[in-house]
Amino acid sequence: MNVLVTGGCGFIGANFVHQQRRLYPTDRLVILDALTYCGNLHNLEGLNHDPGLSFVRGDICDADLVAQLFRDERFDAVVHFAAESHVDRSILGPMPFVRTNVIGTTTLLEAARKAQTAKFLHVSTDEVYGTLAPSDPAFTEQTPLSPRSPYAASKAASDHLALAYAHTYGMPVVVTRCSNNYGPYQFPEKLLPLMILSALEDKPLPVYGDGMQVRDWIYVEDHCAGIDAALRIGQPGEVYNFGGRAERPNLDMVHAILELVDKPRSLIRFVADRPGHDRRYAVDCAKAERALGWRARWTLTDGLRETVRWYREHPAWCHSVRSGEYRTFYERNYTMRPDTASEVAQCG
Ligand code: NAD
Ligand code: DAU
């Protein structure tokens, strides 16, 4: 297959690219990524000389660039990860979320529709369903959307548009909705990498509110395997939930990390809560298990241990991300073409 992967330099996108190269070395992947603050070419380490991979630096909202890409290449599928993904940032400023998540997604859908691309996989989130009380059943694909943060609202809007393209134009769109991912290459603004790196440096660990908000944690490799299954055998117009069947309060996760890095709980600081903070997410992924033959393989214990090991063993990555060095890596290593809005470069 020839696959366009948007956001392939972000956390989940990069893990997906690594997994795809291992599983399907003869496929071709074209990565479209704007390299925003969380897009990082270091996340594609080891793939520099892979002839099956090319990288286009560009914005999914740039309709001319996206149209040109679909004219230059005949894609068998699009896997769409690119997004503004951090809830706290969306509270500080919603506009980039509306721009990338809503307008960017629609720009891609429109290009794929015109090119009659055979599959469009839209990667979404369990946050579109809203929040749960402690005894509520987990979200199913039938749960009505009830987003409560600007991030979640922008993702819900993009889900509606993706499914509207399936309904109205008969486009082969598949939507996936996953719970909280953790693992290698996650930008340290999100809970787990922030806690791991802060604890390793004996810095305070900020826990919002009472720390009893519940998330369902999934190791990123399991999410990527689900996306792969949905890409290959998911039915057009369908939604598939993915989760790790590992609901935990945030405070338990922080305690687990402190134990793994052998640091004291006195590093924890309870800070002001996130405005509108969703109390609980839980995902029923029975449909994906039944229809796609998918199942989360990693236990939380093994996944957390592996994640902590990865951050410990990648001090150069951690340093480059924390110092901001990674943000100039592209300019230092790729030729800029001043005549175009974006630059196209073969990885390596
Ligand atoms: P991330 O923030 O780590 O990466 C996002 C990537 O998209 C970056 O490489 C960034 O440069 C790129 N990007 C952002 N705006 C762009 C634009 N306008 N044009 C082109 N590229 C752009 O995000 P992530 O955590 O890897 O999430 C990937 C996707 O998965 C998102 O759609 C997110 O909503 C969804 N998701 C994430 C989680 C999670 O726990 N992280 C869970 C479920 C779903
Ligand atoms: O549920 C899927 C979603 O998970 C994805 O769609 C989002 O892209 C992803 O960012 C994530 O959203 P959350 O808001 O759940 O993730 P975050 O890591 O920001 O926070 C996890 C929980 O930890 C949340 O309840 C807020 C809390 N938290 C977070 C940070 C950064 C803290 O208590 N302290 C912190 O410093």
Look over the chain and give the mean of its residue pLDDT values, rounded to a whole number: 95
pLDDT tens digit string along 275-295?
999 999 999 999 999 999 999
What does the block give as tokens for 19? 């997994």
Q: How far is the CA of 265 from the centre of ligand 1 (A)?
A: 31
pLDDT tens digit string along 159-183?
999 999 999 999 999 999 999 999 9
Listed residue (31, 153, 169) closest to 102, CA to CA: 153
Mean pLDDT of 40-44: 96
How high is the pLDDT of residue 140? Answer: 98
What does the block give as tokens for 51? 């002839």
Q: Is the CB of 149 under 6 A from ligand 2?
A: no
pLDDT tens digit string along 192-223?
999 999 999 999 999 999 999 999 999 999 99
How high is the pLDDT of residue 338? Answer: 40
Strands 214-219 and 247-249 come out as antiparallel
Q: How far is the CA of 85 from the centre of ligand 2 (A)?
A: 10
Closest Cα to atom 33 of ligand 1: 85
**Atom from ligand 2 closest to the CA of residue 253:** 23
Mean pLDDT of 55-62: 97
**Atom from ligand 1 closest to the CA of residue 182:** 40
Is the pLDDT at 340 greater than 70, yes or no?
A: no
Confidence of residue 324 (pLDDT cuts 50, 70, 90): confident
- For residue 103, the ligand closest to its alpha carbon is 1
Q: Indicate the range of 96-105, 110-119, 337-346 predicted with least confidence.
A: 337-346
> What does the angle CA 180 – CA 264 – CA 89 come to, to the nearest 5 degrees?
35
Confidence of residue 48 (pLDDT cuts 50, 70, 90): confident
**Residue 325 CB neighbour total at 10 angstroms:** 13
Q: How far is the CA of 8 from the centre of ligand 1 (A)?
A: 8
Cβ-proximal residues to 263 (8 Å cutoff; 6+ apart), any chain: 199, 200, 202
Is the pLDDT at 73 greater than 50, yes or no?
A: yes
How high is the pLDDT of residue 205? Answer: 98
**Atom from ligand 2 closest to the CA of residue 124:** 6
Q: Is the CB of 244 under 6 A from ligand 1?
A: no
181 has which bridge partners? 218
CA 137 to chain centre: 25
For residue 129, indicate whether it is catalytic.
no
- For residue 121, the ligand closest to its alpha carbon is 1
Fold of 2-181+220-244+282-296+325-343: Rossmann fold (3.40.50)
Q: Is the CB of 180 under 6 A from ligand 2?
A: yes
Is the pLDDT at 59 greater than 70, yes or no?
A: yes
How high is the pLDDT of residue 344? Answer: 43
Q: Which of 151, 219, 240, 330 is catalytic?
A: 151
Q: Nearest 5°: phi and psi at 108?
A: -70, -40
Q: Nearest 5°: phi and psi at 142?
A: -90, -10
Closest Cα to atom 4 of ligand 1: 10
Instruction: Please provide the DSSP assignment of 312-327 as one string.
Output: HH-HHHHHHHHHTGGG
Is the pLDDT at 70 greater than 60, yes or no?
A: yes
Is the pLDDT at 186 greater than 80, yes or no?
A: yes
Confidence of residue 335 (pLDDT cuts 50, 70, 90): low
How high is the pLDDT of residue 341? Answer: 39
Mean pLDDT of 36-54: 94
Q: Where are the domains of the chain?
A: 2-181+220-244+282-296+325-343
Listed residue (201, 66, 90, 80) closest to 149, CA to CA: 90
Percent of the chain with pLDDT over 90: 92
Is the pLDDT at 329 greater than 50, yes or no?
A: yes
In a 10 Å sphere around its CB, with 0-12 CB exposed, 13-18 middle and 19+ buried, how is residue 313 labelled?
exposed
Is the pLDDT at 336 greater than 60, yes or no?
A: no
Distance between CA atoms of residues 31 and 40, nearest Å: 12
Listed residue (125, 167, 130, 158) closest to 145, CA to CA: 130
Exposure string for 165-183, b = 16+ CB within 10 A, e = fewer: bbeeeebbbbbbbbbbbbb
Cβ-proximal residues to 201 (8 Å cutoff; 6+ apart), any chain: none
For residue 151, indicate whether it is catalytic.
yes
Confidence of residue 125 (pLDDT cuts 50, 70, 90): very high
In a 10 Å sphere around its CB, with 0-12 CB exposed, 13-18 middle and 19+ buried, how is residue 55 labelled?
buried
Is the pLDDT at 343 greater than 60, yes or no?
A: no
CA dihedral 288, 157, 11, 47 (to 10 degrees): 90
Q: How far is the CA of 20 from the centre of ligand 2 (A)?
A: 26
Closest Cα to atom 7 of ligand 2: 85
If one compares 345 and 48, the residue with the highest pLDDT of the two is 48
